[in-house]
Amino acid sequence: MTSDPSGPSDPSDPSDPSDLAAAIAGRLAEIPGIVGVTLGGSWATGVADAEADVDLGLYYDPAQRPSRAALDAVAHDLDDRRPTAAVTAFGDWGPWVDGGAWLTVGGRRVDWIFRDVDRVRDAVAAARAGDVTVHHQVGHPFGFPAHRYAGELAVARVLADPAGALAGLRAELGEFPAALRRALADRLWEAGFALEQADKSGRRGDVLATVGQLHRAVAVMVEALSGHNGRWLLNEKGALRLIAQMRRRPDIFAEEVESVLARPGATSDELGASVERMRAALADVRAVCGRREPGG
């Protein structure tokens, strides 16, 4: 793993949510079916600001799903609002985000996010094998790679793990899997394919299709660069900022990509120029990741 996800927080920092998160996790862990609770998101990765949400991962046993009534009771007791927003059913937010609740506790936004521990176990095995599968998921324009579950667990702070299930999965996952690193770099062919399609759309002046393909190419490139650096990419938010902080990357990759996506153009000439700039960025990423251009 690339960080110390269970490292101590700074108790002198009034914005740090560790005590609040631990208290909530303790209550949730008492509900039958809850396997473990983690603090994830920006607070786990060290990039949170004082306004960042507190993301709690609620890992549950699908064979013994926690009682929604029990979850609702804890949510109602904690939430500043009366009546509180109800906890969702499992699967209400889509097959991969699953479900949870949006709460406000002590004036701070606290999100509960369900995670089926059997799916997480499968994702850990797939990540170790270098299996990259991307699923459609509402709210995730890059798609939702199944190995994201493994990444979430790798970087999270484990707050409750009564039977040691999460610790066991983290030990099984170990360092960023070499097979996954190679697979993400190998997928750079998809970025090249997306840019071929963008070129065709750009020649017709089709802004929507061209920009969509540019976006897809970037999604593949940032995953490849993250993997090459042994870093888990958890979502689209802040992805380019994360890449800009990595040691092994093209010098101005983030700046160039932001410039292209901010002003891709409206005419065929402008769109074509954006495609060519993105092709140059892809060539740089291939060089960093040690992947030749197909046919080269």
Res. 14: pLDDT tops 90: no
Compute the distance between CA of residue 214 and CA of residue 192 in angstroms, rounded to an integer.
10
Compute the distance between CA of residue 103 and CA of residue 142 in angstroms, rounded to an integer.
26
Lowest mean pLDDT among 37-46, 53-62, 215-224: 37-46
Higher confidence at residue 11 or residue 57? 57
Q: Which residues contact 137 (CB under 8 A, 6 or more apart)?
A: 94, 95, 96, 97, 143, 144
Name the pairing type of β-strands 108-116 and 54-60: parallel
Most trustworthy range by pLDDT among 80-89, 121-130, 245-254: 121-130
User: Which tokens is 74 given?
Assistant: 């804890």
Q: Which residues contact 144 (CB under 8 A, 6 or more apart)?
A: 96, 97, 134, 135, 136, 137
**CATH number for the domain formed by residue range(s) 178-289:** 1.20.120
Q: Which CATH architecture has domain 18-173?
A: 2-Layer Sandwich (3.30)
Residue 193's pLDDT is what? 97
Tens of pLDDT along 42-71?
777 766 666 778 899 999 999 999 999 999
CA neighbours closer than 13 Å in the CB half-sphere of residue 211: 16
The pLDDT confidence band at residue 230, using thresholds 50, 70 and 90, is very high
Q: In angstroms, how far is CA 98 from the centroid of its own chain? A: 14
Res. 10: pLDDT tops 70: no
Compute the distance between CA of residue 114 and CA of residue 91 in angstroms, rounded to an integer.
9
Phi then psi dihedrals of residue 275, to 5 deg: -60, -45
Instruction: Determine the angle formed by the axes of helices 178-186 and 207-228, rounding to 10 degrees.
Output: 150
Instruction: Determine the angle formed by the axes of helices 268-289 and 188-203, rounding to 10 degrees.
Output: 170
Tens of pLDDT along 285-295?
999 998 877 75
Domain spans in the chain, listed from the N-terminal domain onward? 18-173, 178-289
Most trustworthy range by pLDDT among 13-17, 237-241, 261-265: 261-265
Average pLDDT, the chain: 89
Nearest to 274 by CA among 187, 166, 198, 223: 198
Count the Cβ atoms, other than its own, within 10 Å of residue 14: 7
Tens of pLDDT along 87-146?
999 999 988 989 999 999 988 899 999 999 999 999 999 999 999 999 988 888 888 999
